[in-house]
């Protein structure tokens, strides 16, 4: 979800053509060794390893810059993620109520928290680039 927020905010990175379909072999950004990615699960496994690393950046910012080095983000971002961002925008930008808090799923609230954190981080990053 965090990566999706950055792609929504800054646009989808354009990876090399060879990363747009599986299988392929490239250097792992985690181990720096050549690795064959045969399934989306292989990509997600690599992402999980990268998320475990402690960096000074948010998960979304870190993945936005690293994932295109070994995979196409379009292969892993799912429609439901973009839907959550739309729902988040409706509730925050247009002050549309989601209803009573008891009727909102924990998953949706978790997603909204991630989206908010990553948007704030993306805005901060954009401001630092533009002076």
pLDDT, tens only, 47-69: 999 999 878 899 999 999 999 99
CA distance 57 to 28: 20
Tell me if the pTM is above 0.75: yes
Distance CA 68, CA 64 (A): 7
Provide the mean pLDDT of the chain: 89
Identify the pLDDT of residue 106. 76
Angstrom distance (rounded) from CA 35 to CA 37: 6
- Residue 100's pLDDT is 59
Distance CA 70, CA 27 (A): 7
- Confidence grade of residue 18 (pLDDT, cut at 50, 70, 90): very high
94: tokens are: 């247009």
Minimal CA–CA distance to 49: which of 22, 71, 24?
A: 71
Alpha helices for 12-105 (secondary structure H): 40-52, 59-66, 79-93
Plot region of 32 (φ>0 → left; ψ -120 to 50 → alpha; else → beta): left
List the one residue out of 24, 25, 23, 71 whose CA is nearest residue 46.
71
């Amino acid at each position: 979800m965090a990566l999706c927020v950055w792609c929504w905010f800054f646009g989808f990175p354009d990876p090399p053509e060879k990363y747009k379909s599986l299988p392929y072999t490239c250097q792992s950004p985690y181990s720096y060794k050549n690795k064959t990615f045969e399934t989306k699960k292989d990509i997600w496994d690599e992402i999980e390893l990268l998320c475990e690393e402690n960096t000074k950046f948010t998960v979304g910012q870190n993945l936005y810059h690293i994932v295109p080095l070994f995979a196409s983000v379009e292969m892993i971002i799912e429609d439901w993620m973009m839907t959550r961002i739309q729902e988040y925008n409706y509730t925050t930008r247009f002050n549309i109520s989601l209803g009573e808090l008891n009727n909102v799923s924990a998953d949706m609230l978790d997603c909204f928290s991630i989206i908010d954190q990553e948007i704030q981080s993306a805005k901060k990053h954009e401001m630092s680039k533009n002076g």
